[in-house]
Each structure stands twice: as structure tokens, then as C-alpha cells.
Chains A and B, each alone.
Chain A
Amino acid sequence: MNALNPYCPDLATVQEVIQETHNIRTLRIRLNDEEKMQDFSFRPGQVGQLSVFGVGESTFVINSPPTRKDYLQFSVMRVGEVTKRIHELNAGDPIGVRAPLGNGFAYEEMKGRDILFIGGGIGMAPLRTLLLHMIDNRTDYGDITVIYGARSPQDLCYTYEFDEWRAGGVNLVLTVDAEFPGWTGRVGFVPTVLKEESPAPDNRIAITCGPPIMIKFVLFGLKELGYEDHQVLTTLEKRMKCGVGICGRCNLGPKYVCLDGPVFSLDQLGKMVPEL
């Protein structure tokens, strides 16, 4: 972040792009200012505003963990004006970034616990940050289970990393919504698979992110399994502009998703105005 002017992005350059799916593209960037890049620190779950100058800015979670700082990674789904232009960027192109913003995950409080990640589609992006951070600090955490699903095998992100996750001590459960030729893995909606896997709530934190309909049923499922509100975390999406709690747009009652979020626990959300 630019300490003197929070609206002014740091200039960065795209190092590498990975086309994850037909509409999700991962960018790996480095700040142009080498010293700033070295000093850059953030918490898993914090976000950044990526600038395509001339088109606009959009908020994305910093997809890579603080333990792996060769680059800052952002996974972007193409849905509108800015993301369309981001999808046209390649290695060597200039880009702006204002980061880190937001609150991030309180991973310190998760130490010694079992962790359950439940992701759908692009929802795996914020989960990946925390997941890799935990893999890199493996002994701090107990069982790590990931239930990750997408509409089809072609809609799964980070497929090239799954083996690494398993090797890092992660119980990875993949699923797709329907049968597909060539897919020999699990078939079923994420909430259904959650029910089937039935991970016990004792000493466990559940973190979920994905399409709203998936989250809705996952939350039902977690409640049925006995998870209490303070054990369940999610990240909220809201239209953002300034990202620094000034422009007023992303408010949920008196809280700003860009400042007090985007990570919220279910019991925090329960106390807020229902305006999701």
C-alpha cells in the first residue's frame, strides 16, 4: 500500500499467467519496486485491488500465502469490464495493485485445531491462501480436509497442485456436479459430499467459499453436523471502490467489508444487518 495516498496503486508487472479454466485466469505479479516487494507482508485472506489503468480496479484475494513470496498471485474470474481486460494481460504487462487490504484469516486462533475447507469453483481462491500457509506450517494444525467441487472437471482450478496438497498432508476430496467422460472421481454437489464425508465438528474450524447457492446449503449442512456459528468462516463479496473504508459503498450496517472483512465468522454475520 502507498502509505501517503491509499488510492494510489503500486506499479507491478505480470510475471506469469495460468489459464485455470475457460473463465478463470491466475496472474502472478511482482511489485516493480524491489524493496517494497521484499518488505511486502500480508495475512492469508487479505485482498488486493488490481488496477488496469484506463479500465478500472477490482478486488481479489491475494491467492498466494505469505510463506511463498516470489510473487503475489491473484485468480480472476472473467465477469465484467475490468476482469475482461485482466484476462487479456500477459507476462510483461504493467498492472497496478493496492494491497494488502481487509482483515485476513485469524489463523493464529486455528492452531492446534482440525481444519475443514469447503470450496466451490473460484471459491477455492481465498481458501488456497490459507491452505498453503497451513501446509507450510503443517505441524501447527491437525487434520486438514479439503472438499473442493466444481460444475465439471474443466472448472476445477489449481489441478496442477492437487498432488502437492496431498503430499503436504491434506485430505483432498474432489467432486464435480455430474458425470463426465474421463472423470473417475467423486460425483455430487459439494453440500451432498459434505454430508457424506460428515467431518465431526469437535475442535474443528470450517471455512467455506463459493457460489452463493453452494454456501447456503453448505451452511445448512454444517449446522446439521453440529458446527456452531463461531466455528464457521466465510469471505464476503461486495461491490467495492476505495477499498479503504472511505467511499461508503461496501457497508454491512456499520461495518465495511473492505476494512472489517472480507473474512467473517457466522456468528459475526448473525449480528449484522441481513443485507447480503
Chain B
Amino acid sequence: MKYGFYPGCSLEKNAYAYNQSTMAVTKAFDIEFVEVEDWNCCGATEYIAIDLLPAYALISRNLAIAAKQQSEQLVAACSACFLNLKKADHYMGESHKLNEKINKALAAGGFNYEPGSVKVRHLLDIIYNDVGIEAIQEKIIKPLYQLKVAPYYGCLVPRPAKMGSFDSNEYPTSMDEIMRALGATVVDFPLKAACCGGHMTQISEDVALDMMRRILKNATDNRADLIVTLCPMCQFNLDAYQESVNKKFGTKYNLPILYFTQMIGLALGMSEQELGIGKELVSAKAALTNISEEPPPKPKRVRRSKEALPLPVLEEV
């Protein structure tokens, strides 16, 4: 399977571990990535706050290059890059005026983009839907038994839903399923799709730290050994600012934040080195020792008391 690939600025350095592990894992599944040549920054959540047309033009230059390279599908690993690319393509398709103006701007650089030419998808989407759970399970060598992971999706992959999100916008479960397939014990936690704060750390650190605290607290309350994420921003915030959170609130969180591709890589038998494990500030070393050779004991069937009233059944769980 061949896809266009847009790494985004964070995958170059800050989230290099994500880059490493993604390349290692996708290679194992015969996925070929064609990187967008000479791609530029997508503007994150910053450019769109200053000036609309230049922001969209900045994003669409990448779409134009991907289209020129004949990539029918463009994969982004970073949630913000993913949403920006998807949104630009979608809105250009919806608004004739916007499309016209952006293409006029692109022409100044010798580019052109027809909305809809490239289908923008997130890395989790292609791994969950195109590769599939079965294919992953076939290649597992070292199942992550008894490791309690809290899958954390962040906000920009589940939402906004209108542009055809591939998972629920309130309660996504695709990454949960992958983790479970890897043998890990998935700790379900309600704030799995809550926002980490994004760049709020630069606007009001207090507000940002509180948002991070909520997520760390909830994952800890639900007994997670580590948090698994799919966004470089989320990883950075929860990882690098964890100490600041502890300082401000007097808490003692010690929750490593790893990427879901790193987890897949581990289960596939790859080394910590090649997956970039060790690059995280809150070390995952201790947490990973929880991985056992033995699968966890089957959970005892909890017998509800005689007086208990029946519960409605949820299909997804």
C-alpha cells in the first residue's frame, strides 16, 4: 500500500520518536510512504488565528505538492497537521470563493490545487482500517500482557466529526482495540478525548496545567501504567509539563507518555532503540517492566447482588 506522507514540523525533532516508530511499524506492514517534497509548516493552530487566506494558502501548498506527486491519499501523523490539511481541502470544496482565492495565491508560487484530489487521513485511521487488527495480530511476537495502558486520543482526531471522522467524536475506540489486540490491558478512561491544552501553555500556563492535570489524574485514578497517544502536541504537553503539574498541584504523577506506534513496535518484537523509546522525559522504563510473559488472568465474573436492577447494554463495550 502506497500513501503520500506529511510529517509536519514536530515529527522532525520534538516527536522524532513518533517518526521512528511510525516508519518501523509501517514498513512491517508493507506500507510505502512518499513524503511530500519540500513540505512546509501547516501553520498549526497559529496561522489561522492571524490571517485566513495566507493560512489556507500555506496549508494548500502541501496539498498541491501531494497532488502533483499523484498521492491519492495523504497521511499525517500529527493531529493538528491532519486537521489543517483535511479542513483546507474540505472548505475549499465547499466555498467557491475561497477556492478561487487560494488557487490565485498558489499560482504565485507556481502551484495549483483542485479540492478533493487528495484524501487526507490520519495515521491511526490507516493502521486501524487499512492494515486491520487481524494483520497486526498475525505479526505479534511479544504481546504486551498485563501492561495497563490508557489510550488518549486528544481532541483533533475525534473531532470535528462533520468532515467524516473515522471514529466517535466523544468516545473513540479504535486505538483501544489496537492496544487490546496487542495483548495490553486497556484502561478505559472518560477523558480519553479531552483536550491537553494545545498551545495554551503559552497563553495562560495555569489554565493549561489544570487541563493536563485532569487527564493525568483521570488516567492515574483508573490505574494506568502509561498513557498511549497519537499526537505530538499531546505527548509533549503531558510529558514535558508533567513535572510542572506536580509542582503546581502538589501531585506525584509519574505517567510515561508513549506513542501508539511505539507500542505496536514493541509487540512486533522491535527494540526500544529503534522505536525511540527513551526519548520521553518521564521515563517509560519502569512501566514497561510490567509487561509479563503470562496473559492476565481472566477477570472474575462479578455477580451482581440480588436486588440490583438490570443495566442497559452498550454495544461498543
Q: Do A and B come from one complex?
A: no
- A residues with a Cβ closer than 8 A to B are none
